[in-house]
Every structure is written in structure tokens, then in C-alpha cells.
Amino acid sequence: MAAGLANGRPAADEEARAEVDVLNSRLEKTTQLTKKIQACLGRLEATGKSVRDVAGPLNGETRKLQILGNNIDSVIAAIERLRQPADSKNDEEQIIRMGPDKAGLSNYLGSIKRLNKALNDMKASNLRSTQQTVAELQRLVKLGNSQLENAFDKLLRSETPRMIEPLHFITKNKPFPVLSQDKFNKLGLMNSFVHQQSAGGTAPQESPVAKIYAEIRSQYLSSSLVNMAAASSNTAKKKNPDAIYRAGTNGIGTYAQAMEGLFIAEYENICNIFTREDWGSVFQATCQPALVELGRTLRELNGHIKQHMNTDCYLAYEIVEIISALSNNLESKTGELKSSLAASLKPVRETAKSSLAELLEDTKRRVNSLQTLPQDGAPIPIISETMQRLQTMVDFLRPISSIMVSLGDGNWKSVSASRSGAAGDAIPSLASFDVGADGKEIFAHYCTDTIEALMMSLDGRARLLLQKKPVMGVFLANSVVIIERMILQSDLGPLLQGRLAVLEAWRKKATSLYMDACKDVSVHLFDMIKTGQGGRSGGRPTSGQGGAVDSASIMKGLGSKEKAEIKEKFQLFNAGFEDMVQKHKSYSMEKEVRQQFAKDMQNMIEPLYCRFWDRYHEVDKGKKGGGQRVKWDKGGIAAVFLGLY
């Protein structure tokens, strides 16, 4: 077995050596093959370098030739493009010379658009050879735009009447006319084209078609409103200079109504023709001439109001309300014209504000300038005129409240304060014309200030010119009654309810002045005679003592001197009373004043006389000339008082 193993080992070794020899042989072949490949790569690299050295310049030349070819193609294309407008110029010129009417608006606009594009392309090329063509294209474009503007002008004028009669539309409640839809389309197309051409250059208000539109339509608006403006001025003139202005009698209300209708219709036209950014500027330009005429009319009316402030200040209040409403309505529907209308209204508004103080001052001035007063205490016209003015103001309470609120409570007491009121020049909003509690309160305050100023002026003048207290009392009482009557019998009543205390103070003063004469007469009915002591029958009964008074007994208890004094008192009373009655009847009194003063006289004198008569009427009895001193019994004097009412 060991011998078998020994024989097997050499065989395995031989086999291993044989495999090693095979591997070595293959490795040697691989090495040789690698060397050959490296040699081939070296030769290939050398060949590639030679090719690159030869092909490099050829590739650069080829690239240059390609660029040159592309440039040539571009030049040829540009030349073709430049030749094309020149070639088609005659066709476009034919369309332009035909005009938009014959060529058709769309075709005409397309031609101008193509000419503009060709012109811009040629200008961009900046070639000397195209300068003549550029000039010709510019001429055609200018001609085309000019004819387009003329077509816009012609079409718009054909649809615009010289004027219309606004009253026809107002009285029949018809909408004011606007342009037809067909004209909207054509005019809008023209404007849109012009707007695109001038985009980025000409400002909207400088657009040629906008200027044309404003010129044509502004003439139409002005012509349509000129008669309304004249009517407003003419209706301010009146046959009777002293007649107080009544609401609605001036033509300014119809004028404003016509203006609002025309302006809103015009704004609708503008919105259908122009772009949104142009609406405001075109509308302003179109309405401006009509607004200038409105301003002139308002200045003329303002001059008239200033000359007739006492009677026509109400026209100023009415104008403030009407033009403010016009401004607010137009602003809500168009967003425009508020500042223009505010400027037009400013003079009248300032006059309306200052009128409140001026009327107060005028009332004082007129009273203080009086050189005489009626010596019978009769009222004077300025009292009813002043109250009539306040009554008329109630008809204009809305604008007056607005003015007073803006002026400030009490600022009407001086002209300078009223002219520099807090409101400024701005037109008040519609809400400010709502007569709320504040507006009524301020107006009521103005009324009481006016009444107080009037009564103080009358009182001062009465003290200077009348001097006699009873006449002064009659004069003031008449004034109070007329004022009170004109308040209660008019719309002033509810506004001044609870504010008539100012009149009560003057009524008391008037009564006090008038009753001064009664005091002088009644003093003769007071006796200071001591007719006895203790329980004598002739003694004076104490106040409140019941039972009849025995005049005969009292007279028996008097001495001759005391009886003479009683007789004198009767005589003095008779003379004073008769004079007082005669004067009472001679005074010019309002019915209420006569009755009130008669009652006051009776309440003061009759009880005193009846008491005096009860005690001393027997002073005449049994004597010569009896009955001449005691002229009236109690029934008789009551009848006299009854005749005073």
C-alpha cells in the first residue's frame, strides 16, 4: 500500500508542472499581444493628430461660410419685407383716399394699422434707401388719421341736434335722449383705434377724438340750457320790490333739473364710446361750458339777492338746496363735477350764511332809525315784517338748518362770524339736509334771538320817543301780541313750543308800564283816616271782616276836615279815572291787548273802589250838589269797566 502511494505522487507533480507550463505559454502570448496593441494605438494617435491638423482649418472655414449664408438669407428676407410695404403702398393709399365711409370702417382701420406697422419696421431698419418710402408712409398715415377724425366729427355731428327743449322732457317725464347703439359702436371703434395708436404718448384728455367730442357735445349742452339760465335770471325780477320770495317761483329748480337730466344722458354716451380711464376727463370737458354759464347765472342771482336781502334771502336758501342736491345726484351717478358745482355755488352759499346775521342787524338798524312812533301805541309794520320773514324761513327749513348747523349755534349774532363759518366751501351732503332735532333746535334759537333783538330795539326806541309809560306799555303789548299771534297761527308754533317765555317777560313789562297810570288813580281810594277807637260803629273794619258796611254811620263819625278829604279823594279819583278811561279808549290796541289791560285795570281798581264806595258814598247825601262827587255806584263803575273790553 505504501508502495502504491509512492508511485502516485510523481504522477500528480508531473501533471501540475504541465499545467504551469501551459499557463506560462499563454501569459507570454498575452504579453506579446499587448505590445502589438500598444504599438497600434501609438500609430493611430499619430494618424489622428495628423488628421486634426489638416481638418481643423477646414471646419472653421465651413462654420464661417454657414454664418455668411445665414446673414445673406436674413438680408434677403429683410429686403423682401422692406419691398413688401413699398409694393403694397399703392393698394393702401387707394383705401385711405377712399375714406372710412366708402372703404368700410373696419377695412379702413386695418389699412391704417398696416401702414403704421410698415412705417415702424422701416424706421427700425434705418436704411437710407427707404427714406422716401418712409416719408410717403408718414404722409399716408397722417392723412388716414386726419380722415378718421373727420369721420368721427361728421358722424357725431349728424347725431347731435343743435339743441333740445328740456322742458319737453321734464314736463312729460321722458328720459333725455342719448346716441343710438349703432353710433355707439362706430364712434367707440374709432376712439378705441385712436386710443391704441396714442397709448403711452398723448394724455387721455388730449386725445383728438375726445377734443372733438367735447367741442360738439358741449355746444349742444350749452345751447339746450341757455334758455333755462335766462329764465332763472328773469324770474328773479319782480314787479313789486317789497314782495317776499316764495319757494319755487324762480326758474333755478327747473334749470337744475334740466342740467341733471342732460348731464346724466351725456355721461351714458361717454361711457359707451370712451374707455373707463377717459370717462371723467371727457365728461368734465364736455360739461365745462354749461357749468361756466351756471356760475355766471348764480353770480347774477347772488347780486340780486344782496340788493333785496330782506325779501329775497330765501332764494339764496333755495339755491343752496337745489344746487347741493344736483351736485350730490351727479356725484352718486358719475363721480364727477362736485368741485365745479361747489365753486359755482360758493357766492350764493356765502350770502345765505351771512344773511342770518345781516337780517338780525337790519332789524335793529331799521328800528333804531325810526324818528317817530305812533303816539297812540299802535304797532309798526316792522313787527309783522320780521315775523313774516321767520314764517317764510320755515318753508326753507331744510337748507337753513344745514347752513345753521355748518355755521354753528349762535354764530349768526355777528356778520363776521357768519362769514367765517366752519363749513368752508364744500357742498353739504344729502344727510345734512335732513331736518333733525338739532336743526330744529338751532332754528328755534335763531327765532328767539330775532324776537329778543326786535323787542329790545322797540323798547329802546319807545323809551326815547314815547316816554309816557302807558303808551309805551300799549306799544310793547301790541308788539308781543302780534308776535305771539303770528307764531301760533303758522308753522312757527310747533317749532317754538315751550320757548315763548321770552314773550312773557315782555308782556309783564308792558303790563307794568301800562298799569302805572292805574296806580296813580287807585292811590285816591286809599284812606288813612282814623274814624274812632275800639268798638265804635264808625271804626274801620279789619280786613276780612264780614257784614255790611254802614256808610252813614261812618260818615257821622268823621269830622268836617276828614269829610272834605273824602270828597277830594272822590273828585280826584273821578278826574283821574275818566282821563284813564278816555285814554284807554283812544289808544290803538290789538283786541287781545285791550281786553287784557281792561281786565287788569278792573282787577286793580274795582275792588278798591267798591270798598271805598261802601264806606264813603254817603258823603254826597243831603248836600247841595249831591251826586257830583260820588259819580258811580258799584254797578255803574262795573259797567264802565265792561265798556273798556
DSSP per-residue string spanning 384-403: HHHHHHHHHHHTTHHHHHHH
pLDDT of residue 537: 38
Q: What does pLDDT average to over the chain?
A: 81
Is the pLDDT score of 264 beyond 50? yes
Mean pLDDT value across residues 513-533: 70
Block residue for cell numbers 364744500: 426
| Cα–Cα distance, 412 to 356 (Å, whole number) | 6
pLDDT of residue 419: 53
Helix (H, G, I), strand (E, B) or coil at 7: helix
State the virtual CA torsion across 177, 208, 218, 165 in degrees, nearest 10.
Answer: -30
When mean pLDDT is compared across 373-382, 424-433, 435-444, 623-632, the lowest value belongs to 424-433
Contacts of the segment 517-523: beta carbons below 8 A, 24+ positions apart: 517/469, 517/470, 517/580, 517/583, 518/580, 518/600, 518/601, 518/604, 518/605, 519/604, 520/576, 521/573, 521/576, 521/577, 521/580, 521/605, 522/604, 522/605, 522/608
pLDDT of residue 413: 72
pLDDT of residue 570: 78
Per-range mean pLDDT, top range of 105-119, 254-268, 565-579? 254-268
Mean pLDDT value across residues 325-346: 95
pLDDT of residue 452: 94
Mean pLDDT value across residues 171-185: 93
- Asked if residues 133 and 115 have their Cβ atoms less than 8 Å apart, the reply is no
pLDDT per residue over 581-590, tens digit each?
A: 888 888 899 9
- Provide the pLDDT confidence category of residue 15 given band limits of 50, 70 and 90: confident
3-state helix, strand, coil in the chain (%, to 5): 80, 0, 20
59-70 CB burial, b ≥16 within 10 A, e <16? eeeeeeeeeeee
pLDDT of residue 612: 77
| Cα–Cα distance, 326 to 285 (Å, whole number) | 18
Q: Which residues contact 394 (CB under 8 A, 6 or more apart)?
A: 490, 491, 492, 495
pLDDT per residue over 560-569, tens digit each?
A: 788 778 877 8
pLDDT per residue over 275-292, tens digit each?
A: 999 999 999 999 999 999
Mean pLDDT value across residues 321-330: 95
- Asked if residues 418 and 357 have their Cβ atoms less than 8 Å apart, the reply is yes
What does each C-alpha distance from 206 to 41, 58, 194, 514 come to in angstroms?
82, 64, 11, 80
pLDDT per residue over 296-317, tens digit each?
A: 999 999 999 999 998 999 999 9
Neighbours of 55 (CB within 10 A): 11
Quickly list DSSP for 233-296: HHTT--SSTTPPP-TT-STHHHHHHHHHHHHHHHHHHHHHHS-HHHHHHHHHHHHHHHHHHHHH
| Cα–Cα distance, 411 to 633 (Å, whole number) | 60
Q: Taking CA 213 as the corner, what is the angle to CA 210 and CA 214, rounded to the nearest 5 degrees?
A: 85
Helix (H, G, I), strand (E, B) or coil at 631: coil
pLDDT of residue 199: 60
Per-range mean pLDDT, top range of 27-41, 104-118, 189-203? 27-41
- Provide the pLDDT confidence category of residue 126 given band limits of 50, 70 and 90: low
Helix (H, G, I), strand (E, B) or coil at 409: coil
Mean pLDDT value across residues 323-350: 95
pLDDT of residue 633: 75
Three-state DSSP string of 422-439: CCCCCCCCHHHHCCCHHH
**C-alpha cell of 534?**
275800639
| Cα–Cα distance, 494 to 140 (Å, whole number) | 78
pLDDT per residue over 65-90, tens digit each?
A: 888 888 887 766 666 665 555 555 66
Neighbours of 212 (CB within 10 A): 19
Count the residues in the chain: 645
Is the pLDDT score of 8 beyond 70? no
Is the pLDDT score of 197 beyond 80? no
Q: Tell me the pTM.
A: 0.73
When mean pLDDT is compared across 167-176, 327-336, 408-417, the lowest value belongs to 408-417
When mean pLDDT is compared across 120-134, 386-400, 545-559, the lowest value belongs to 120-134
When mean pLDDT is compared across 148-157, 192-201, 216-225, 364-373, the lowest value belongs to 192-201
Mean pLDDT value across residues 129-157: 74
- Provide the pLDDT confidence category of residue 121 given band limits of 50, 70 and 90: low
pLDDT of residue 202: 44
| Cα–Cα distance, 94 to 90 (Å, whole number) | 6
Q: Which residues contact 51 (CB under 8 A, 6 or more apart)?
A: none
Quickly list DSSP for 192-209: HHHHHHTTTTS-GGG-HH
When mean pLDDT is compared across 94-108, 155-169, 245-259, 572-586, the lowest value belongs to 94-108
pLDDT of residue 203: 47
Mean pLDDT value across residues 369-389: 93
**C-alpha cell of 172?**
312729460
- Asked if residues 410 and 445 have their Cβ atoms less than 8 Å apart, the reply is yes
- Asked if residues 301 and 320 have their Cβ atoms less than 8 Å apart, the reply is no
- Provide the pLDDT confidence category of residue 540 given band limits of 50, 70 and 90: very low
Is the pLDDT score of 539 beyond 70? no
When mean pLDDT is compared across 49-53, 266-270, 312-316, the lowest value belongs to 49-53
Is the pLDDT score of 27 beyond 80? yes
Is the pLDDT score of 471 beyond 70? yes
When mean pLDDT is compared across 4-8, 218-222, 396-400, 585-589, the lowest value belongs to 4-8
**C-alpha cell of 571?**
273828585
- Asked if residues 531 and 556 have their Cβ atoms less than 8 Å apart, the reply is no
- Provide the pLDDT confidence category of residue 625 given band limits of 50, 70 and 90: very low
- Asked if residues 606 and 638 have their Cβ atoms less than 8 Å apart, the reply is yes
pLDDT of residue 479: 95
